Structure 1
């Protein structure tokens, strides 16, 4: 599926106006000129439009100067020399371009504190009013923050060369079109923290630079820490001190990455998987062998058939259903048969089944006295492992390490049970969840990210940090919320990058697929009234109340329509 972009960014193209009788080009006030740059045919580059800022003119009024300053901010990374021309010497010394980038709507307004034009040496107060779209942090994370932005206040001084800005907020103020023009949403891949057998995606927004290929930009960013949402939860195959010397296309269509540093200390497999996925998922080096050289000597290579087990979600895995308290598995002919053992025996008191990794053969269910587990074998018998009021425990969820998790709402704690040790359940620290009404807790298949529903109207996403030293749920940020009068019916992880959120509002139901990295949201079509969700990569299932009773529907490959599969109460996949 091609995921549509939600960000609503539009590419604005400023037209040059010819000077009468002189043949020169005058750049329109309030917008820099734009030069198309397709990367010179470099297969490791991304096309982009380079900004050329305009210096302030003596005849410009205060609004024109502020708009010109904002346009110079959009060009600042490519042309840092023009923006200081808008500032007084004092402002030039005080202003800092670093820090959070504020992204506002293209249609911002410039307002005045008063209508009187300033005389020479006098000040004039000007503000930018706009709808804020997002922020881009120092960690390159794109954080949606829709709503009115705090006014940005500027103090201008009238000089003999026209207005100059004497006071302004630190940081860059960019429009959504500026970001669309100069940034690219980019997936980086890091290793999950404990087992280091799987890659975890970290979505960041990187500036396209005219002086280097985008492939090099990706590799250099990959050598740094992940964004704040994954810090303490993931690791990397690159030792500290690794540097990028060059990224180029070599002989036989090979991408050659030249590094320097202590890479002889690391195992190459994970490192090569990080590079291969980070480049290929962003349109770089697709179909090419990647070769890494260290200090000029061959180090490792990753061919076109790099093992996808690093991110594979098990797309051919059959799905399971709950019917009258018995677990069924879908057969090749499209019907469902009961699984072996106790889990396949009807028991109306059992609900919210959850499957561990397929190789473990473990299944959990909510009962009238807590949570029990069994094996999918003829000898399997239910064993209660977590005791509690089922109305005060969230539905069970499995970690890929084989442990079972739930949130105890009565005591306000996260519980983890490890079947291998047989001890427990143990409490897991989650300080950011203290005092919240946690109604769902879902661990992603990457074993790192966690989605939490609070009440019936908010979803947050965090990460499991700490690893072998002791898990902790941390790094939470808001993913989505619904308006007053609406409620969230169910959530499910599709992969480690997307959460499905089923919402009921006054207008009806909606099904949202949300990228946890930058908030990109795709609205999926609905026909029947849905109740429960399950997903595995591109496969999306839902239970629906239809005129034929409760049925399991599957979203077709075009993601435009649904097909009824069989009658059942609730669908589920392993680790869903």
Structure 2
């Protein structure tokens, strides 16, 4: 067995010489050097990276060197596809394809030989074993993957000139984690909610850097394509089919994007949405740097977009914090309690739990009871009214359109109640939830993504998609699963791309913030034992409950410590939506 570590960390320097057997070198790449155009090396519209230069197989290489060189050629394949075929026999070249998901493994991998070797073999079976890191789909979605990867079986044949060629190998590209860190960048793309096109929805991808173009162009080229499978049929775009990029140029104050295609300058709503998609896709990836963005069509000005602090495209539905005291809902001010809300919701009442808030402009609040879910207005004349009946309902959650949602475990159906219509709840198709024990369901503030906790230890992410038959909750994929015996205590959206997951483990509580786009997980330190959470962007509130007290604590901006917010008789922190 041979253990190989090829480029164990991201390369930080230029390798001026290539040692025999390494099969690669790395040079820094910042794009072409046309000042003010798509690839200016030092401009913030670019993301410098290091380009892999692979070597052809050498006559003096053994099996390990050949496998190392082949893997390096895979890492360089997108920039130079001519080297990798040189490692393959004619038979392998005819069968192998680079298409399909990219497999990402740890930098250290093992090469084993199934049978004892005496050095005279002309055909050699080699197995490559490594730890999975992730896969990158054909839609550029990055999916973390745990466990061992042992699907790497290679057949090597000795050549008459010496050295080896690969006769059989797994399909697709195999990259190490360092390859991905070096050549790929995470990027947020913005599309429009298909049912509420005034709201943008973020889509997280991994984009491969290209030495021939700026990162700004790489982002925009990808934005012209379909979203990842996670958001397929849930979002739409303002770019008409046939739109292409002619050029991207800039100076210190302005980015000039010249497009070509059937863009209608008289369609003001499409023009506003297109500006928003470009603005946020550039800003989130740190390539526009606060510049004015001028959009042209065939050289003629189409729109000019300036940074707007009051940007409506990512509206969260309100930022007021609330809490519950003995069944009565209270406002939370900067310094603590600020009084009860008006109407029935502000009155103490037993038996009402799991409160949820709509957008502030809609001013609705819902709560779960022993017989169903009740609803009231946050107004002086507000009165509680049971709108969904059931004894096995999940806690209510509001959609940004004002509708109220829950899952009925007894009947295995997803229910939606529209207060504007006043009619009884309607069923929404969610075939992937059939037969599952749904513990909680929460709709994100973007009105598209939905987190679903099943059983005690699994969180899935789905999306509300539009079909000719109506809304469907689908596009499910697993986000996290805890260890057996651990229990998920609470789950809440902090923003459109991050979910906070509170877990009770054997060793104590764990709070993780997980990016639902690529699974990136950051632990949040805890001091007190929490029983519930609420979050909005950088604000995170937690409910602490002991035998002596119930209080609200807030996570400091340093995200390391918690401070008391409401000292006593306070639980169930709330923000609108989420």
Q: TM-score, normalised by structure 2?
A: 0.93
Q: Which residue pairs with 1:170 in the alignment?
A: 171
Q: Deviation per CA, 1:319-377, whole angstroms, max 9, x where unpaired?
A: 11111111111135422411111111111111111110000111111112100101111
* 1:460 has 2:463 as partner: no
Contact 1:199 1:311 in 2 (8 A): yes
> For residues 555 and 147 of structure 1, what CA distance do their matches in structure 2 show?
33
CA offset digits 1:373-398 (Å, max 9, x no partner): 01111111111100111xx1000000
Cα distance, 1:295 vs. partner?
1.5
How far did 1:151 drift? 2.5
Cross-structure match for 2:295: 292
Count of residue pairs brought into register by the alignment: 556
Displacement, 1:468? 8.1
Other-structure match for 1:133:
133
Aligned position for 1:220: 221
Structure 2: gaps of 5 or more residues? 1-7, 32-40
Deviation at 1:67, TM superposition (A): 1.1
Change (3 A) 1:434 1:314: closer
- CA distance 1:335–1:489, shift in 2 (3 Å): same
Aligned position for 2:26: 34
The 2-side partners of 1:569 and 1:528 are apart by 14
Is there any run of 5+ residues in structure 1 with no aligned partner, and where? 1-8, 18-24
Residue in 2 that maps onto 1:264: 264
Check conservation: 1:130, 1:151, Cα contact below 8 A. Answer: no
Structure 2 CA distance for aligned equivalents of residues 410 and 494 of structure 1: 30
Equivalent position SS for 2:145 = strand
Residues in 2 aligned to 1:118 and 1:97: alpha-carbon distance in whole angstroms: 31
Partner of 1:380: 382
State whether structure 2 residue 283 is matched by structure 1 residue 280. Answer: yes
| Number of the residue aligned with 2:558 | 558
- Distance in 1, matches of 2:160 and 2:264, equals 62
What secondary structure sits across from 2:70 in the alignment? Answer: helix
| Residue 472 (structure 1) aligns with | 472
Residues 14 and 33 in structure 1, CA contact (< 8 A), matched pair in contact too: no
Between the aligned partners of 1:98 and 1:10, the Cα distance in structure 2 is: 26
- Give the secondary structure class of the aligned counterpart of 1:500: strand
Deviation at 1:117, TM superposition (A): 4.9
Q: 4+ runs of 1 displaced by more than 6 Å? A: none
Question: Is the CA contact (8 Å cut-off) linking 2:151 and 2:170 kept in structure 1?
Answer: no
**8 Å Cα contact 2:104-2:174 kept in structure 1:** yes
Deviation by residue 1:152-204 (Cα, 9 ceiling, x = unmatched): 11111111232000111110000000000000000000001112011110000
> RMSD in angstroms over aligned alpha carbons?
1.7
1:563 deviates by: 0.8
Residue equivalent to 2:405: 405
> Partner of 1:6 in structure 2?
none
Q: Name 2:422's counterpart in structure 1.
A: 422
TM-superposed deviation, 1:546: 5.1
Q: 1:296 Cα shift?
A: 1.7
Structure 1 pair 164/332, CA: closer, same or farther in 2 (3 Å)?
Answer: closer
CA contact (8 A) 1:100 1:136 kept: yes
Shift of 1:276: 0.6
Contact 1:490 1:502 in 2 (8 A): yes
Shift of 1:118: 5.8
The CA deviation string for residues 29-68 of structure 1, in whole angstroms up to 9 with x for no partner, is 2452111224421331101011010111101111110111
Task: Give the superposition deviation at 1:115.
Answer: 3.0
Q: What is aligned with 2:574?
A: 572
Residues 467/561 of structure 1: CA separation in 2 closer, same or farther (3 Å cut): farther
* 2:192 maps to 1:200: no
Asked if residue 431 in structure 1 is aligned to residue 431 in structure 2, the reply is yes
Could you report, residue by residue, the CA deviation over 1:259-302 in whole angstroms, capped at 9, with x for unpaired residues? 11111175210111000110111010111011111112111111
Q: Distance in 1 between matches of 2:382 and 2:224?
A: 47
Q: Please say if residues 194 and 468 of structure 1, whose CA atoms lie closer than 8 Å, have aligned partners that are also in contact.
A: no
Residue 323 of structure 1 is matched in structure 2 by: 325
Counterpart for residue 244 of structure 1: 245
Q: Secondary structure in 1 aligned to 2:495?
A: coil
What secondary structure, in the 3-state scheme, does the structure 2 residue paired with 1:108 have? strand
- 1:138-153 to structure 2, matched below 5 A, reads 138-153=138-153
Q: 1:117 to 1:310 in 2, by over 3 A?
A: farther
Supply the distance in 1 between the matched residues of 2:133 and 2:519 (Cα, whole angstroms): 11
How far does the alpha carbon of each residue in 1:480-504 deviate from its partner, in whole angstroms, 9 at most, with x for none?
0100111100000011100000001
Shift of 1:304: 2.4
The 1:422/1:547 distance shift into structure 2, 3 A limit, reads closer
What is the deviation of 1:312?
A: 3.5
Pick closer, same or farther for the CA change 1:493–1:361 going to 2, 3 Å.
same
Q: Secondary structure at the match of 2:264?
A: helix
Pick one of 336, 346, 363 that aligns with 1:334. Answer: 336
Instruction: State whether residues 23 and 57 of structure 2, in contact with CA within 8 Å, keep that contact through their aligned partners in structure 1.
Output: no
User: 2: CA distance between counterparts of 1:397 and 1:453?
Assistant: 13
Inter-CA distance 468–292: structure 2 relative to 1 (3 Å threshold): farther
Moved more, 445-454 or 29-38: 29-38
Q: Which residue of 1 aligns with 2:107?
A: 106
Name the CA distance, whole Å, in 2 between partners of 1:128 and 1:89.
22
Shift of 1:305: 2.5
Equivalent residue, structure 1, for 2:37: none
How has the CA–CA distance of structure 1 residues 333 and 102 changed in structure 2, closer, same or farther, with 3 Å as cutoff? Answer: closer
Preserved contact between residue 444 and residue 493 of structure 2 (Cα < 8 Å) = yes
**Retained in 2: the 8 A contact 1:495–1:536?**
yes
Q: What is the match of residue 492 of structure 2?
A: 492
Contact 2:258 2:297 in 1 (8 A): yes
Hey, what's the Cα distance between the residues in 2 that align with 1:557 and 1:551?
A: 19
Deviates more, 1:192-201 or 1:444-453: 192-201
Distance 1:457 1:28 in 2: 50
